[in-house]
Structure 1
Amino acid sequence: MKKLITAAIPAFAAAVALLAPAQAMAGSSDGKLQVKVLGTAVLPDGKIVEVKNDPLGLTVGANTKANDNYVPTLAVEYFATPNVSVETICCFTTHGVSGTGTLAPATNIVDHVMILPATVTLKYHLPLEGGIKPYIGAGPSLFLVLGEKPGASVTPLGVTKVKMSNELGFALQAGIDIPLNDKGMGLSLDAKKYFMDTTAHFYAGNAEVLTTKHTLDPWVLSAGLAFRF
């Protein structure tokens, strides 16, 4: 929670900077467009679900996990009707992969895994008294993986390069928007569960020496400010 609050501070500061000029416009709780600036916790899994190539038996009795991260997030939402909207989010989140089981001493297997989770969800909002709107949503997500590097625990084994695959998956979403005034300003709480795998390819020079499939399946929990106009 402390890390999420820390991540939310720059998000709230950005929200004030972005939304203050918008307050000069005609904000409306019934507007077609809503912009959210959020602090977000990204909580992935990272365990091995399939070993595709392991000639040296490196994964026997071993597994992996990915660390959590806390980042600012921007969401843009268009309301096709008062109760139906389409939302997309923008953020970069960076993770590392460490070992468990017989790999437990290997604390840094893959480093600097930067992910862009390109996500679009279709949402249904349930209007309640006082303008409070809980919602549910679902939609596709494309995880673009960038900048991954072999960690310090595998480079002594001769690993010179690692590549993790881009993958198409699915996200379920639930949350609530709570109005703070009648000018379109609100508080937003959001939770997404992604269903997503990736395949990691480890190379020694040009030779692929290990190929493993990992489940990511992160929970993505967000809180922040919204402005609708």
Structure 2
Amino acid sequence: MLKQIAIISLLGMSASAMAGQFQVKVGASLLSPTEDSNLGASIVKADNEFAFTPSVEYFFNDNFSAELLLATPIRHDVLLDGNSVATIKHLPPTVTLKYHLKNSTRFTPYIGVGGTAFIAWDEEGVAKDVKEEFGVAGQLGFNYQPADAKNWGVFFDVRYADLSPKVTLTPAAGGQKFDLDIDPLVYTIGYSYKF
């Protein structure tokens, strides 16, 4: 009898733990690097890029959620003193734990913190090798649900990622190794749908 009660209790706890909601978000983002690197007397910088950035979010309750950012490979031109000398493609999977400030309006601000990765996809030009990099990520934004919307809404947020992947140049370009300080701000606007 005690065994059956324990099993029923555990099943009830599992069901309540899975009682949250999923939300999918489809957005367009501008990635704007905030830093540059020194290579001798030269300045190396990654350029601004646009990206398609879908994400999946799981709500544990009204206030807390976890979001996984999924993006298509992002291509950056690497500029040496303003001239493009290489291209780097990467994937930026990012996970943030978020707090939503629920209120009586249709605007729901949120703040999040988590981790991100720079997974090198391809490199061309004078970049011979680009290493993977991991860093912290922050997020600040809001979701707006129109009056006639039951499950959908629009959102805007800004993310910051602390990323400085190590780049090795080709022998013809000197073979130097340096940290490409990207540290981008990512501005995203898009559409959300909660199941």
Q: TM-score, normalization: structure 2?
A: 0.83
Cα shift readout 1:98-145 (whole Å, capped 9, x = no counterpart):
112xxx5xx12212x111111100000001213321000000111101
**Structure 2 unaligned residues grouped into runs of 5+:** 1-18
1:210, 1:148 → 2: CA distance? 16
Residue 39 (structure 1) shift: 1.1
| Correspondence for 1:200 | 167
RMSD between aligned alpha carbons?
2.0
| Correspondence for 1:36 | 25
**Structure 1 unaligned residues grouped into runs of 5+:** 1-29, 50-58, 152-160
How do 1:1-229 and structure 2 match up within 5 A? 32-45=21-34, 47-48=36-37, 59-91=39-71, 92-100=73-81, 104=82, 107-111=83-87, 113-151=88-126, 162-180=128-146, 181-204=148-171, 209-229=175-195
8 A contact 1:46–1:64 mirrored in 2? no
1:120, 1:77 → 2: CA distance? 10
Letter in 2 for 1:109: V
2:99 alignment partner, SS class: strand
8 A contact 1:196–1:216 mirrored in 2? yes
Cα shift readout 1:175-210 (whole Å, capped 9, x = no counterpart):
0000023421101111101111111111328xx721
- The number of aligned residues is 175
Cα shift readout 1:8-66 (whole Å, capped 9, x = no counterpart):
xxxxxxxxxxxxxxxxxxxxxx97111111111111245226xxxxxxxxx33111111
More deviation, 186-195/142-151: 142-151
Residue 215 (structure 1) shift: 1.0
8 A contact 1:45–1:65 mirrored in 2? no
Tell me the percent identity: 28
8 A contact 2:109–2:142 mirrored in 1? yes
